[in-house]
Amino acid sequence: MKVSNYLIVASLMFVPLAGCQGQPYKSNYEVKSNIEHLTPATFKQKIYDYSKSKEWKFVGDKPCIIDFYATWCGPCKAMAPTINQIAKEYKGKINVYKVDVDAQQELASVFGITSMPTLLFCPSSAKPEISVGLINRGEFDKKIKEILKVSL
């Protein structure tokens, strides 16, 4: 067998069994999260209607965190359990949402999202603040307290 044939066989060993029985492949990152995924329509209803106004006007009922992520992004996957934990622990105090930048390119474009993960911390009565890159739980709690003005 030629070297190129070995490479083809070896690469096939890592292909996930996606699409079996008509079901698309979903990573654990997508399946484990019970956090609402925003579309442009739900973003406009729950966060800010960027089509009506250039000036930020938060319309949500609670401060929120929006996780702009990609399913192929390693740091996004690493941060997902922390975000899920925050959503559970702060339930009723803040809302946590996700935006898949590949599926919702309009939202990524509106906010100029080019690096993942990007988190948008939206307080009720001030402009949002952006955090780019992987952050740990301590940093999350600090930002929630300082930006969103919420404590556990």
Give me the catalytic one of 20, 64, 76, 122.
76
Return the closest-CA partner of residue 38 out of 88, 111, 89. 111
CB 84 within 8 A of CB 34: yes
Give me the catalytic one of 20, 64, 73, 122.
73
Token pair for residue 44?
């406009």
Q: Which residue has the tokens 């699409």?
A: 19
76 is catalytic: yes
CA distance 106 to 2: 46
Sign of CA dihedral 109, 113, 118, 122: negative
Give the active site residues: 73, 76
